[in-house]
Amino acid sequence: MTTTRFAPSPTGYIHVGNLRTALMNYLIARKAGGTFILRIDDTDPERSKEEYVDAIKQDMEWLGLHWDRIERQSERLDRYADAADKLREMGRFYEAFETPTELDLKRKKQLNMGKPPVYDRAALNLSDAEKEKLRAERGNGVWRFKLDHERIDWTDGILGDISIDAASVSDPVLIRGDGQVLYTIASVVDDTEMGVTDVVRGSDHVTNTATQIQIIEALGGQCPRFAHHSLLTGPQGEALSKRLGTLALRDLREQGVQPMALLSLMARLGSSDPVELRSDIAELIEGFDVNRFGAAPTKFDVQDLFPLTAKHLQSLPLADVADAVADAGVPAELAESFWEMARENITTLGDLKGWWELCRDGAEPLIADEDREFIEEAIALLPEGPFDGETWGTWTKAVKEATGRKGKGLFMPLRKALTGMERGPEMATLLPLLQVIRARG
Ligand code: GLU
């Protein structure tokens, strides 16, 4: 059965880049009728925060990306210790004692000599007595996985055929000197034990994948299918990594971005399929295929989310936005007609308030000198209430007859006088909502 997972580290809020990973894994699982796991990668006790775990869950729920299972790596440490023991028994795990400064020096030397900066495995030659001495002086060493120096090949769902020479990669550290288990092994143990069949993640993980394939094989696990999506860049192709902090999902939510706008964009951006607004997640699942994504960096422009948000909102019935309409201050009896008027004139729900204020308080009238008399005459001709969708037509007809004005010369001064703006909602739908006018009618 298809099983995927989204595995964020709770060291910050999730952003658009994470969302891409989450969504691809989610859609693969749902399309196959499989299982989607939310895995919290919290083996780093210093950097992992409970508040971020809660925030990740809230953000996923806001998007409607529901998980079937939640797992936490901090609750599975004994499994990782077992796997480490196994690797030790197999002779694939060794303790190394170099300090970061020493490693840095080695790397610099290698680079100077034109060699790739790969760990030289000096620790493999240490005798037991030497290790004992180093341990006494420096504390416990780190544990490195001994890669088999052969080529590591896989067919990547996005990148195609990949072949990496293991000799060009340093033996990865899987356990730190203080005993902290690192992601590289924890993830392998989880993916294997949880029966993960498909792993989609960012292309910054390609080298990890190479080493993880060897660890999975050493532990006798089944390798999942891997796909590495490209990283996002800004609209001009500039690196986005530093700005991702400002593209947290909760900030976008604050700015009024709608989940379906975000999901519609991220489920297709960087693929050969066009970005189109979808009305629900089921529609996104239908057309989704991870193999249709390209390897080139994907340009992301936060501004693209707003027209999609506007379009999505336009399609909604009042029932879906009733809370936001009420929060804007609109009385329940006007909610339906207010929404009819406002839906085509907002970008986000945050714009509702402004339209309601216009209805409730009126606007500073915009009246040119030459229109002053005309406006007075027109106001005097306002029909009796109650106002409805016909009122504007009846009224302007009467004004036309009395003043001889027509077309733009008739409508524009009225619009500007009533709304203070040259453009805006249909006057026929707006007029019955203008409370000041109602009071006069
Ligand atoms: N916690 C890892 C990360 O956020 C997960 C990577 C993976 O999907 O394996 O980068």
The CA 120 to ligand 1 mean position distance, Å, reads 27
Can you give the pLDDT at residue 386? Answer: 84
Distance CA 435, CA 333 (A): 13
Across 267-397, the runs of DSSP E, i.e. the strands, are 298-299
Can you give the pLDDT at residue 439? Answer: 62
Instruction: Answer yes or no: is the C-beta of 187 below 6 A from any ligand 1 atom.
Output: yes
Can you give the pLDDT at residue 435? Answer: 85
Domain boundary pick from 265, 280, 315: 315
Judged on CB neighbours under 10 Å (0-12, 13-18, 19+), 2 is middle
From the first residue on, what is the mean pLDDT of each consecutive set of 10 residues in the chain (441 residues)?
98 95 98 98 97 98 98 98 98 97 96 95 97 97 98 98 97 97 97 98 97 98 97 89 81 97 97 95 95 96 97 98 98 96 97 97 93 95 89 96 95 96 94 78 47
Instruction: Answer yes or no: is the C-beta of 98 below 6 A from any ligand 1 atom.
Output: no
Buried b (16+ CB within 10 A) or exposed e, 67-93: beeebebbebeebbeebbeebeeeebb
Mutational pocket test of ligand 1: of 201, 209, 290, the residue with most ligand atoms within 8 Å of the beta carbon: 201
- Residues 332, 284: one domain? no
Instruction: Answer yes or no: is the C-beta of 41 below 6 A from any ligand 1 atom.
Output: yes
Q: How far out from the chain centre does Cα 144 lie?
A: 34
Residue 417 within a domain: yes
Residue 140 within a domain: no
Contact 33, 75 (CB under 8 A): no
Mutational pocket test of ligand 1: of 47, 205, 211, the residue with most ligand atoms within 8 Å of the beta carbon: 205
CATH number at residue 311: 3.40.50.620
Residue 31 within a domain: yes
Contact 339, 325 (CB under 8 A): yes
Can you give the pLDDT at residue 441? Answer: 47
Mutational pocket test of ligand 1: of 21, 76, 183, 200, the residue with most ligand atoms within 8 Å of the beta carbon: 183
Q: How many residues does the chain have?
A: 441
Can you give the pLDDT at residue 105? Answer: 97
Whole-angstrom CA distances from 343 to 164, 316, 348, 351 are 54, 8, 9, 10
How many domains in the chain? 2
Q: What is the pLDDT of residues 131-152, one digit of tens each?
A: 999 999 999 999 999 999 999 9
The CA 57 to ligand 1 mean position distance, Å, reads 16
Whole-angstrom CA distances from 312 to 59, 287, 305 are 19, 19, 10
Instruction: Answer yes or no: is the C-beta of 13 below 6 A from any ligand 1 atom.
Output: no
Domain boundary pick from 283, 315, 347: 315
Please report where in the chains the tokens 């406002």 appear, as a residue: 342
Instruction: Answer yes or no: is the C-beta of 48 below 6 A from any ligand 1 atom.
Output: no
User: To which H or E segment does residue 283 belong?
Assistant: helix 281-287
Residue 211 within a domain: no
Can you give the pLDDT at residue 411? Answer: 96
- Residues 281, 327: one domain? no
- Residues 251, 360: one domain? no
Distance CA 23, CA 102 (A): 41
Report the predicted TM-score, pTM, of the whole model to 2 decimal places: 0.93
Distance CA 293, CA 301 (A): 18
Residue 388 belongs to what domain range?
319-440
- Residues 265, 355: one domain? no
Instruction: Answer yes or no: is the C-beta of 30 below 6 A from any ligand 1 atom.
Output: no
Can you give the pLDDT at residue 290? Answer: 97
Give the residues across from 296 on adjacent strands: none
- Residues 311, 333: one domain? no
The CA 200 to ligand 1 mean position distance, Å, reads 10
- Residues 413, 329: one domain? yes
Can you give the pLDDT at residue 241? Answer: 74
Distance CA 328, CA 362 (A): 16
- Residues 327, 405: one domain? yes
Domain boundary pick from 315, 348, 371: 315
